[in-house]
Amino acid sequence: MPQPMQLLRAASRLSRVWTPTGGIAVHTNHRMSDGHEKLVRAGYLRQSQAGIFHMLPLGLRVQSKIEKLVEKHMEGALGASKVSLSSLSTEALWEKSGRLQNVASELFRFTDRKDTPYLLAPTHEEEITSLVAKTVKSYKELPLRLYQITRKYRDEFRPRHGLLRGREFTMKDLYTFDGSLDSALETYEKVRAAYSNIFAEMRLPVLAAKASSGDMGGDLSHEYHLPASIGDDRVIHCDTCDYVINDEIAETTATSQVPANTELGVWRGITKDRTRLINVWYPKRVTQPNGGVREYSGVDISIPAVKSAIPDLDSAVGDAAPLWLSTVGGAPEKAVELVNLLDGRLPKSLGDRLRGGSLEDLWPAEFREARPIVTVTVAGGWDNDSMPLGLLRVHSGDDCPKCSHGTLTVDKAIELGHTFHLGTRYSDPLGALVSLPGAPGAAKGVPMQMGCHGIGISRIIAAVAEHFADEKGLNWPVSIAPYSCVMIAKEAKDEDLEKVHTQLDKLEESDKGVLDVVIDDRHKSMAWKLADADLVGYPIIVVLGREWSDSGRVEVQCRRLRVKEAVSLEDLPKFVNKLHERL
Residue 485 sits in a domain whose CATH number is: 3.40.50.800
Q: What is the mean pLDDT of residues 434-451?
A: 81
344: left (phi over 0), alpha (psi -120 to 50) or beta: alpha
The whole-number pLDDT of residue 327 equals 67
The whole-number pLDDT of residue 217 equals 53
Is residue 35 assigned to a domain? no
DSSP letter, residue 299? G
Model confidence band, residue 388 (pLDDT cutoffs 50, 70, 90): low
Model confidence band, residue 562 (pLDDT cutoffs 50, 70, 90): very high
The whole-number pLDDT of residue 42 equals 95
Model confidence band, residue 8 (pLDDT cutoffs 50, 70, 90): low
What is the per-residue pLDDT across 325-341, written as a single tens digit (0 to 9) for each?
776 665 555 566 777 78
Is residue 400 assigned to a domain? no
Is residue 160 assigned to a domain? yes
The whole-number pLDDT of residue 30 equals 47
Residues 457 and 478 in one domain: no
Q: What is the mean pLDDT of residues 113-140?
A: 95
Counted domains in the chain: 3
What is the per-residue pLDDT across 137-188, written as a single tens digit (0 to 9) for each?
899 999 999 999 999 999 988 888 899 999 999 999 999 999 999 999 999 9
Residues 477 and 446 in one domain: no
**CA–CA separation, 581 and 378 (whole Å):** 59
Which range is least confidently modeled, 18-32, 103-117, 519-533? 18-32
The whole-number pLDDT of residue 553 equals 93
The whole-number pLDDT of residue 4 equals 44
**CA–CA separation, 226 and 412 (whole Å):** 9
Residues 67 and 201 in one domain: yes
Residues with Cβ within 8 Å of residue 194, at least 6 apart in sequence: 73, 74, 77, 78
Is residue 448 assigned to a domain? yes
Q: What is the mean pLDDT of residues 402-408?
A: 81
Residues 336 and 278 in one domain: yes
Q: Which domain holds residue 522?
A: 4-18+472-582
Q: Taking 50 as the threshold, does the pLDDT of residue 274 lie above it?
A: yes
Q: Taking 50 as the threshold, does the pLDDT of residue 46 lie above it?
A: yes
Which range is least confidently modeled, 77-86, 126-135, 155-164, 362-371? 362-371
CATH number for the domain harbouring residue 226? 3.30.930.10
Is residue 104 assigned to a domain? no
Model confidence band, residue 53 (pLDDT cutoffs 50, 70, 90): very high
Residues 425 and 481 in one domain: no
The whole-number pLDDT of residue 493 equals 78
Using a 10 angstrom Cβ sphere, with 0-12 exposed, 13-18 middle and 19 or more buried, the burial of residue 254 is buried
The whole-number pLDDT of residue 5 equals 47
List, in sequence order, every beta strand (DSSP E) within 257-297: 264-270, 276-283, 285-287, 293-295
SS3 86: coil
- Which percentage of the chain shows pLDDT scores above 90? 48
The whole-number pLDDT of residue 84 equals 97
The whole-number pLDDT of residue 29 equals 47
If one counts every other C-beta atom within 10 angstroms of the C-beta of residue 383, the result is 11
Is residue 500 assigned to a domain? yes
Torsion of CA 217, 129, 460, 205, to 10 degrees: 60
Q: Taking 50 as the threshold, does the pLDDT of residue 1 lie above it?
A: no
The whole-number pLDDT of residue 360 equals 46
Residues 283 and 243 in one domain: no
Model confidence band, residue 359 (pLDDT cutoffs 50, 70, 90): very low
Q: Taking 70 as the threshold, does the pLDDT of residue 490 lie above it?
A: yes
The whole-number pLDDT of residue 361 equals 46
Q: What is the mean pLDDT of residues 273-284?
A: 83
Question: Mind spelling out the 3-state secondary structure of 336-386?
Answer: CEEEEEECCCCCHHHHHHHHCCCCHHHCCHHHHCCCCCCEEEEECCCCCCC
Residues 73 and 200 in one domain: yes
Sheet of 117-120: strands edge to edge?
88-90, 117-120, 108-111
Residues 77 and 208 in one domain: yes
Supply the angle between the helices 57-76 and 457-468 in degrees, to the nearest 10. 120
**Domain endpoint, select from 333, 360, 379:** 379
Residues 212 and 76 in one domain: yes
The whole-number pLDDT of residue 63 equals 97
Q: What is the mean pLDDT of residues 37-63?
A: 95
Mean pLDDT across the chain: 84
**Domain endpoint, select from 362, 379, 396:** 379
Q: Taking 70 as the threshold, does the pLDDT of residue 468 lie above it?
A: yes
Q: Taking 60 as the threshold, does the pLDDT of residue 369 lie above it?
A: no
More confident residue, 551 or 32: 551
Residues 227 and 311 in one domain: no
Which range is least confidently modeled, 257-271, 415-429, 530-544? 257-271
CA angle 48, 52, 56 (to 5 degrees): 65
Q: Taking 80 as the threshold, does the pLDDT of residue 289 lie above it?
A: no
Question: Phi then psi for 538, rounded to 5 degrees?
Answer: -60, 130
By DSSP bridging, strand 408-423 and strand 375-379 are unpaired
Residues 427 and 504 in one domain: no
**Domain endpoint, select from 464, 494, 527:** 464
Which range is least confidently modeled, 254-258, 354-358, 560-564? 354-358
What is the per-residue pLDDT across 469-482, written as a single tens digit (0 to 9) for each?
999 999 999 999 99
Model confidence band, residue 259 (pLDDT cutoffs 50, 70, 90): low
The whole-number pLDDT of residue 283 equals 85
The whole-number pLDDT of residue 313 equals 86
Q: What is the mean pLDDT of residues 279-294?
A: 77
What is the per-residue pLDDT across 500-530, written as a single tens digit (0 to 9) for each?
988 888 776 555 556 789 999 898 999 999 9
Residues 8 and 70 in one domain: no
Is residue 64 assigned to a domain? yes
What is the per-residue pLDDT across 420-430, written as a single tens digit (0 to 9) for each?
999 999 999 99
The whole-number pLDDT of residue 511 equals 53
Is residue 255 assigned to a domain? no
**pTM summary value:** 0.83
**CA–CA separation, 287 and 123 (whole Å):** 46
Q: Taking 60 as the threshold, does the pLDDT of residue 57 lie above it?
A: yes
What is the per-residue pLDDT across 408-421, written as a single tens digit (0 to 9) for each?
889 899 999 999 99
